[in-house]
Structure 1
Amino acid sequence: MTDPIVMALTLIMVGQILLSVPLLLVRVKKSIVCLPLALFLLASGLLAMEPIVSFQFPQWYQLYSALALPSLFILCPSLWFYVEGITSESPWKLNSKQGRHFILLWPALVISVLILLLPKDLHTAIFIEDADIADPFAITLLIGLLLIILLWLAQCVYTMFLVIRRLSAYRKRLKNVFSNHEGRELNWMNWFLFVAISTWLFSIVTLFYSSLFDDLLFTIRTESLLSLLLIWSMTHFGLQQKPGFLEGNNVGENIMPQHDDEESKVLYSPTKYQRSALDTEQSNRIAKKINDIMRKDKLYLDSSLSLQKLSSTIAISPNYISQTLNETLSTNFFDFINKWRIEAAKPKILANQDTVLNIALEVGFNARSSFYKAFKQETGKTPSEFRKHTI
């Protein structure tokens, strides 16, 4: 009999997915990045239904197992496409080159067909009773299944590497474009990756341990709970998250000029300024102009100030401004603006006539936490410590 707690966790997972996927599909017309997220959740939902099918509908288990296998090979590509989409500097689009990420899906489909061709009693012996099998066809199928699962594990590791590298480059790039990162940092993805890796590791360790010692190291409840956390984080945060490089997080209002994949590689590369025509004299003039307008017009007080807004105000290319900040002033847009904000906040902190939150909002921060972090980074002290040691 199936564990009632496992059944309850499974039903919650499936319910979350059934509620979330239609919402995502409705949004696809406005933002295509919702499509890979919907695909990820659909594949996860199909895999999550294993306890329900095996207990409530055993007569359909052979068909289910044939459908569940290809679903595994949809997870990694759809996760990568989603991360690629929400971190893209221009509206993300599907293209033919992305098909290579589904290369393992084709042999998985072949194995699924072979699973369907198995006699029902043989399928039951292999996938339900875990009995020893001498049938040559079944042995060949099991070898193919083992190989494809090992390849899937390798694909998971590679995808995690790509995602982590992409997120790292994305967060660095954010600092060259926006003065406030609230809603853009994708910190929830750190939690998601931790849960995903933990779930996969628990599953693998449990599988091998049970095969070697005929005992479960981690119970199915642990795996189900981790899977629920995985689905919850993806549905809860995924439904709220919009592409980070869209101005104001509104789809269609791109913060940077559109560019192809090759240009994106240049922008994310540390050597992105090698082809620039900006010389030292021009860079110094731009640096002076930026500092002058900050001093006179106090643009840093605008909490939504971005590289594009500054570019429009002083009529200088965003790339030239970014290059000047990075190479001439040895900083990035985010730290540069925050330094001006902290300098504006210091006399207000010393005056001690308002709350820290109000001061933070007055000088351009969107949150108390981001103000504290920037203040500590700039001065080495918290606002209260700064007041205490200065007065």
Structure 2
Amino acid sequence: MFDTFSTIAYAIATGSIGFALAMALTHSGQRSDRVLFFCMLLTALLAHVLGQLLIVSGLYRLAPHLVGADLAIKTLLGPAVFFYTRALVSSDKPGFGGLDWMALVGPALVILVSLPFAGLSAEEKLALADPATRNPDHYRIAIFTCTASLAIFLASTALYLVAALRLQLKHRRDMMAQFANIERRSLDWLRNLLFVFAAAWLFFAVKQALWVSGASIPAFNITLAFTESLAIAALAYLGMRQPDLTSDPASKAMTPARRPILSEQRMDRTAAKLVDALNTNRLYADSDLSLRKVSDITGVTKNHISETLSQHLGVNFFDFVNSHRTAEAKRLLAETDLSILEVGLEVGFNSRSTFNAAFKKHVGSPPSTYRKHIRNAPSNDAAKSDRVSMTTSE
């Protein structure tokens, strides 16, 4: 019965991957390298899922020669995640070469340690499933293959997952330096899924360790199967919906030097010009506001704006704009009856969740709490209300 639930979960995951592969290969509008590495990631996931499905469904009895065939391909999961992330965050198609070929080391090692097990006949592999019929020498080979390949899988996957997370974090900082709204650009969904997959694969290692020791926890196995299935379905859905990211190719050249190039007086004038443009022209209300737009309107180069924000004001473009948005939002919350969502949209946010997060960061409390407090205060003096500690949250 427990194996039935696991079989259903992995069958659902197989269908999700197959559908996503078909859509990716027929969908136009995505850059070719992004499609390639997305399909590579899905294929590695498919190998992993089919390997699990072969065991939990009992199909290994019909095809014992396929047992373990997924081990080498599964080791490509980490590299596939990294290459897919790199393709998403790169403004140009990154070349494949140099250290990239190190991705094949893991699969090569797995193939090497799997050779003794692969040399067993179908009958000898089937005999391993029953303690009464298994050959002790063959069983030791199976244990060694499982343990060694699992260690290689975990080491390779951990290395590439960390590298992918670092890429996403750097990309997020780059987006915050260029745009006032980054929901569709930050790839936070990918970061969250990477954490889910990391946890799932760690639990998978625990499951394999239990198997090596001769133990099994059915509820644990079912939970792992459905967690992986849901994560794979989310990856397939969100990966297909992820639009090509737009960024300024010159952004790499906009990283301010440690020692300011502009004088303090020049940066002070630039800061005043930026503040005036945001307030006088209400630029902050533009939900698609970017560093390039502000540069075009003010006549100040992107490099000079970037340096002024980081070196003189100590903020990035994202936080600079959102601080002005929240200042106006405070006034609207205090003086109007607009809903929380309407206030957020009015000042330039794209959703209530991003408005809540930014408002809490800059003010110290969610907008609903701020409005409730200021309307219950004896005075509508916003400055006074700001000094009151507001620790409750939505």
TM over 0.5: yes
Is the aligned partner of 1:12 residue 2:5? no
**Higher mean C-alpha deviation, range 114-123 or range 138-147:** 138-147
Q: Which amino acid aligns with 1:339?
A: S
Counterpart in the other structure of 1:83: 85
Deviation at 1:323, TM superposition (A): 1.7
Counterpart in the other structure of 1:43: 44
**Higher mean C-alpha deviation, range 106-115 or range 154-163:** 106-115
**Higher mean C-alpha deviation, range 193-202 or range 73-82:** 193-202
User: Which runs of no fewer than 5 residues in structure 1 stay unpaired?
Assistant: 248-253
Query: Do the aligned residues in 2 keep the contact of 1:202 with 1:218 (CA within 8 Å)?
Result: no
Identity fraction in percent: 24
TM-aligned CA distance change 1:164 to 1:30, over 3 Å: closer
Query: Do the aligned residues in 2 keep the contact of 1:28 with 1:35 (CA within 8 Å)?
Result: no
TM-aligned CA distance change 1:257 to 1:144, over 3 Å: same
Query: Do the aligned residues in 1 keep the contact of 2:309 with 2:316 (CA within 8 Å)?
Result: yes
User: How far, CA to CA, are the matches of 2:260 and 2:121 in structure 1?
Assistant: 66
Counterpart in the other structure of 1:105: 107
User: How far, CA to CA, are the matches of 1:213 and 1:57 in structure 2?
Assistant: 19
Counterpart in the other structure of 1:3: 3
Query: Do the aligned residues in 2 keep the contact of 1:203 with 1:223 (CA within 8 Å)?
Result: yes
Counterpart in the other structure of 1:250: none
Is the aligned partner of 1:156 residue 2:160? no
Query: Do the aligned residues in 2 keep the contact of 1:195 with 1:229 (CA within 8 Å)?
Result: no
Q: Which amino acid aligns with 1:255?
A: D
Is the aligned partner of 1:311 residue 2:314? no
Counterpart in the other structure of 1:226: 227
Choose which of 53, 60, 63 in structure 1 pairs with 2:63.
60
Deviation at 1:6, TM superposition (A): 2.1
Counterpart in the other structure of 2:196: 195
Q: Which amino acid aligns with 1:71?
A: I
Deviations 1:98-142 (A, max 9, x none): 22222212233445565544333333345x44734336xx86786
User: How far, CA to CA, are the matches of 1:109 and 1:211 in structure 2?
Assistant: 20
Counterpart in the other structure of 2:24: 24
Q: Which amino acid aligns with 2:229?
A: L
Counterpart in the other structure of 1:368: 352
User: How far, CA to CA, are the matches of 2:86 and 2:277 in structure 1?
Assistant: 35
Deviation at 1:20, TM superposition (A): 0.4
Q: CA RMSD in A?
A: 3.0
Deviations 1:19-68 (A, max 9, x none): 10121223477322232222121121122123554534644331x23531
**Higher mean C-alpha deviation, range 10-19 or range 285-294:** 285-294
Q: Which amino acid aligns with 2:18?
A: L
- TM-score, normalising length: structure 1: 0.82
User: How far, CA to CA, are the matches of 2:352 and 2:141 in structure 1?
Assistant: 61
Query: Do the aligned residues in 1 keep the contact of 2:193 with 2:235 (CA within 8 Å)?
Result: yes
TM-aligned CA distance change 1:291 to 1:162, over 3 Å: same
Counterpart in the other structure of 1:343: 327
User: How far, CA to CA, are the matches of 1:8 and 1:108 in structure 2?
Assistant: 28
User: How far, CA to CA, are the matches of 2:292 and 2:238 in structure 1?
Assistant: 27
User: How far, CA to CA, are the matches of 2:249 and 2:106 in structure 1?
Assistant: 35
User: How far, CA to CA, are the matches of 1:73 and 1:207 in structure 2?
Assistant: 15
Deviations 1:283-336 (A, max 9, x none): 233223212322332211211001122223334332331221011011111111
User: How far, CA to CA, are the matches of 1:219 and 1:358 in structure 2?
Assistant: 45
Deviations 1:157-186 (A, max 9, x none): 222322333333333333212111222333
User: How far, CA to CA, are the matches of 1:145 and 1:219 in structure 2?
Assistant: 19
Counterpart in the other structure of 1:123: 125
User: How far, CA to CA, are the matches of 2:104 and 2:192 in structure 1?
Assistant: 26
- Give the 5 Å matches for 1:163-202: 163-202=164-203
Counterpart in the other structure of 1:134: 137
TM-aligned CA distance change 1:327 to 1:106, over 3 Å: same
Is the aligned partner of 1:352 residue 2:354? no
Counterpart in the other structure of 1:251: none
Query: Do the aligned residues in 2 keep the contact of 1:206 with 1:218 (CA within 8 Å)?
Result: no
Q: Which amino acid aligns with 1:104?
A: G
Query: Do the aligned residues in 2 keep the contact of 1:300 with 1:337 (CA within 8 Å)?
Result: yes
User: How far, CA to CA, are the matches of 1:279 and 1:99 in structure 2?
Assistant: 46
Counterpart in the other structure of 2:73: 71
Deviations 1:69-117 (A, max 9, x none): 22111101001112223233x1343421322222212233445565544
TM-aligned CA distance change 1:52 to 1:373, over 3 Å: closer
- TM-score, normalising length: structure 2: 0.81
**Higher mean C-alpha deviation, range 106-115 or range 153-162:** 106-115
User: How far, CA to CA, are the matches of 1:340 and 1:215 in structure 2?
Assistant: 56
User: How far, CA to CA, are the matches of 1:366 and 1:67 in structure 2?
Assistant: 47
Is the aligned partner of 1:288 residue 2:290? no
Q: Which amino acid aligns with 1:169?
A: K
